[in-house]
Structure 1
């Protein structure tokens, strides 16, 4: 998977804005990135949700949650399947960097399952580095997931957390 070097016209014409009271929560995207509605609802209530919109259609979502006074986490990042590979995710991550810097955070985190190679590639290309591993994260969160999770046909057991200094 190669990332676009230049922003596509689609990315240029998209708008990133905060979710407001008139917006429908894009559960279709959020649950694609994290299939636990219980977890999604918990960080939606404690974080800030940003939508990427083109012509009133939500094509991307990003949820930022404060970890502590110096650290913020991208808790959920999702792009509509038919829009992937066009730079939308890259733009949302760059937007997250700007928001985090403006709010005075020093570090930004992002996490995914260990076999989720596409996002891992993107995150590292964006400057994130391996920070730590939560072994058996998906196994120990049985109450949040109704069935085992798989990425690329590989069972998700561990959560890999990456960080970037801002």
Structure 2
């Protein structure tokens, strides 16, 4: 972008951060919906620094409820699950990662095979549209701040392909 617009890279970064600061997570008012939760493995800073994006998607609307970036620890994922449980979900579908068993109440937790198809499809779309999320490419995010800004703009921005 900086090459095409002939402006410094820092200006492009500043514009992206400013635009992302104006984007807020949509307030969902519907409860008793079903959600899918999954994580994506990516790199930040260099190909030696692993990071995870963990996010929840409404099964019916395919809208991203919330996301976190960082380690795949119980504390990190727990924050997302707690916010999701405030919505009083009918079901939460996850893969068979052991952390979910201790965080999601058994009454709403489902780990059936093929029940996370929608979020897995969104993972593929994210990796296709945002080249910084490709694992075996040469692109990666240099900072967590820029990664979060790009994810906010992609998932919740006004012209986002994720917003219906």
TM-score by length of 1: 0.29
User: Of Structure 1 and Structure 2, which has the larger fraction of its residues in helix?
Assistant: 2
Tell which structure's C-alpha radius of gyration is larger.
2
The structure carrying a bigger strand percent of its residues is 1
Structure 2 length as normaliser, TM-score? 0.30
